[in-house]
Amino acid sequence: MRQLDHHIAGSGGGAAAARTADIFDPNTGQVQAQVVLGTAADLDRAVAAAQAAQPAWAAINPQRRARVMFRFKELVEANMDALAHLLSSEHGKVIADARGDIQRGLEVIEFACGIPHVLKGDYTQGAGPRIDVYSMRQPIGIGAGITPFNFPAMIPMWMFGVAIACGNAFILKPSERDPSVPVRLAELMQEAGLPEGVLQVVHGDKEMVDAILDHPAIGAVSFVGSSDIAHHVYRRGVAAGKRVQAMGGAKNHGIVMPDADLDQVVADLSGAAFGSAGERCMALPVVVPVGDRTAEALRQKLLPAIEALRVGVSTDAEAHYGPVVNAAHRERVANWIQTGVDEGAELVVDGRGFALQGHEQGFFIGPSLFDHVTPDMQAYKEEIFGPVLQIVRAPDFETAVRLPSEHQYGNGVAIFTRNGHAAREFAARVNVGMVGINVPIPVPVAYHTFGGWKRSGFGDTNQHGVEGVKFWTRIKTVTQRWPDGSALPRGSEDGGPSRVQDAFVIPTME
């Protein structure tokens, strides 16, 4: 059986593999490979390689670092089909979603190709008498990323693309559930010209995560995952003196105003709520129709749209979504559906009995729809992370603003309306980090920034864009004064400075 090793110092980590984890094929339920689970000793080897490689990489001018990013982008595009199939085989998302996963990561790489521009500092001439002030951004040194299973290509590229372009070395700890694509991306970075030791991949579970958080040589950590673990990562990393950004869970709401185009809303919800089997922190699992008339009309249009959804194997080009990542996650989603029933919500469509003919052992679950969900229900309060859509009815606009604003998560929210005033008012008032106006999944483009509020994000700096550059660099400010013309170096007989100390006249500050 195939065993996936670390990628340390440009090659396999040579791990003793005392512990391993199974990598499943979600379409069949069968184990297809194993991944080694590393130790603190494995991390030490990766850090040593990073320490050896990073100073020289940081000394390379930004244009040359950008050229590596350009070449990496070309290589990923040339290998897109193979990467998408590899990703689907371990995650379960359909090929189209897998390609989207990779493409959204590449958009951040494209941003990183412009690193010479965004690393430019500020300059003030004449801040005082013959005094100039300028700033420069310098790399942290060694950064680390801990990434989730649901976007095994996009989120690693969100992190290492900007971090490496800024001159850092980077150690990636991907999810042990689908780790092959992150290793392949590291190999392609090396093929693109990245020196050995600048990007490395270590595998593991909590033991490796805690080793990363505790290691004194790692200066910054970026994390994406569940909120409880994000909070742990943030607290432990900060206690160890690190810069930490930790993105957590979500319960994104879609507000449907009475004037919304319901056909477009239903089309958007079909993808936003059920696409990628709902395993997205920017999925739209809660729809909030304003007024009972809107709610009844929306429900009637949703039913045939859900009925038309095709669940299939990840290689089925006609499938809207594939299996969830593993059996434990399928059981977790099913348990949340039962919780909603027990709490009194109306289960309109039940996806728990779904089985795909010929793939009965696969990790499939059909789409589910709840109506009359209320804010006091645990199934509403918590993130289900599966193909489950909940209707929470709001009597008026004020309630619709309050629901996402008061929820423990604050990742994304959307409003569907033709009314510009309502949209503007909603965007200004809602207590959520990312807002879509007639856009169901408001993930910003790569040159803006990604991040949620409340329990969806811990730390002060967001992912990618200029915020990402700020996170992976430290700013240094220089105040300088040079002597005027009367204090030029005195020449020696051969036209040069007569003595070393004569070459420089140090002015006194006035």
Q: Which residues are catalytic?
A: 281
Residue 263: count of CB within 10 angstroms of its CB: 10
Closest CA to 195 of 212, 217, 170, 216: 170
3-state secondary structure of 341: helix
Q: How far is CA 370 from CA 135, 280, 306, 344, in A?
A: 54, 19, 12, 10
- Residues facing residue 437 across a β-bridge: 415
Length of the chain: 510
**CA R_g for the chain:** 26
3-state secondary structure of 395: coil
| Contact predicate 37/208, CB 8 Å | yes
| Contact predicate 236/461, CB 8 Å | no
Strands (E), 259-387: 286-289, 346-349, 368-371
| Contact predicate 9/45, CB 8 Å | yes
| Contact predicate 375/400, CB 8 Å | no
- Residues facing residue 491 across a β-bridge: 497
End-to-end CA distance of the chain: 74
Q: Who's near 240: CB < 8 A, 6+ residues apart?
A: 213, 214, 216
The token pair that represents 295 in the structure block: 């709610």
> Which run of H or of E encompasses 195?
none
Q: In what order do the strands lie in the sheet with 20-25?
A: 2-4, 30-36, 20-25
Measured between alpha carbons, how far is 435 from 416 in angstroms, rounded to an integer? Answer: 11
> Which run of H or of E encompasses 182?
helix 180-191
